[in-house]
Structures are given as C-alpha cells and as structure tokens.
Amino acid sequence: MKKIIMIKIPGCPYCAKARKAIEELHGEEKYKSVPVEEIDETTQPELAKPYGKDYYYVPSLFIDGKKQFEAKPGMDYDTIRAAVVKAFDEALQ
C-alpha cells in the first residue's frame, strides 16, 4: 500500500472538501488503512518544496512523488471526492 501526500493550506474550502472525503473513505472497510499525510505548505514549506514545481492549486494529492489530483477553483464536492477515491484506489495497488 502506498501513502498519499496531500498538500493543503489553512482556510482552503477545497482542502476542507478533500479532507471530508478522506474521512468518509477512512470509514469504509476497503479504504480504512490507506495512509494520508497532510502537508501544510504555509507551516511546512520545507516538506512541500519537493512537490512545488508540480502543482499550483491546493489540495494536490501525490503518490510516490507523482501528482494524482490538483483541485481547480470552482470544483464541487462530488468532483473532489471522485478524485480522492481514484487516488485511494491507486494507493491500494
């Protein structure tokens, strides 16, 4: 199983949507043990720096250094949740 890295910033409504989806998925048997590490780019810039050239918007999800998802302004919860599910499925492979 691979770890998902989520780059986020405080107060981001799209990050909140992604976090909600992650919490919901962690409640499902299939996904409960998928590890997710959240990196706050404002308080942990040294941890976010290696990913910086590969994203502009947050949240952004990475597995093994490869971007799986990058939110865009205006995305709704269902779109973000579908992307999180896809990342979780990738982490299970």
In a domain, 56, yes or no: yes
Strand order in the sheet with 60-63: 36-40, 4-8, 60-63, 66-70
In a domain, 14, yes or no: no
In a domain, 44, yes or no: yes
In a domain, 81, yes or no: yes
pTM: 0.94
Instruction: Please say if the pLDDT value at position 7 is more than 90.
Output: yes
In a domain, 34, yes or no: yes
In a domain, 65, yes or no: yes
Say what the pLDDT of residue 88 is. Answer: 98
Instruction: Please say if the pLDDT value at position 52 is more than 90.
Output: no
Name the residue range of residue 66's domain.
4-9+20-92
Instruction: Please say if the pLDDT value at position 91 is more than 90.
Output: yes
- Determine what percent of the chain is predicted with pLDDT higher than 90: 98
Domain count, the chain: 1
In a domain, 15, yes or no: no
In a domain, 67, yes or no: yes
